[in-house]
Amino acid sequence: QQQVKQSPQSLIVQKGGISIINCAYENTAFDYFPWYQQFPGKGPALLIAIRPDVSEKKEGRFTISFNKSAKQFSLHIMDSQPGDSATYFCAASNDYKLSFGAGTTVTVRA
């Protein structure tokens, strides 16, 4: 049972473009929403995270938008670079465990 639904499964963006990844959840007890970046053969690396009392958080080229009433959150990657080509996972948690989305493979074309 997927507690966090992520879309799209993959996307291709030109260098300098904007990548947008969306996630939706059902469990209103979730209180922490991180995004992870994973390169092939590596473990996930924390990119940015948000708590539900905030509607937006920006760190460099990465922005999380959070809509508590819709139970949705999204990651925007601005000015996408070839080095951003990776798989991105949204996640949500309450208590002790992270529930991950299925992942989005982002390809940035030079």
Partner 1 sequence: ETGVTQSPTHLIKTRGQQVTLRCSSQSGHNTVSWYQQALGQGPQFIFQYYREEENGRGNFPPRFSGLQFPNYSSELNVNALELDDSALYLCASSQGGLGLDTQYFGPGTRLTVL
Contact residues for partner 1, defined by CB under 8 A: 6, 32, 34, 36, 41-46, 49, 89, 91, 93-103
Closest CA to 93 of 23, 7, 26, 33: 33
In the bound state with partner 1, the residue whose beta carbon lies nearer, of 10 and 81, is 10
Q: Which amino acid is at 32?
A: Y
In the bound state with partner 1, the residue whose beta carbon lies nearer, of 13 and 98, is 98
Q: 87: which 2 tokens?
A: 């798989």
Q: DSSP letter at 32?
A: B
In the bound state with partner 1, the residue whose beta carbon lies nearer, of 92 and 108, is 92
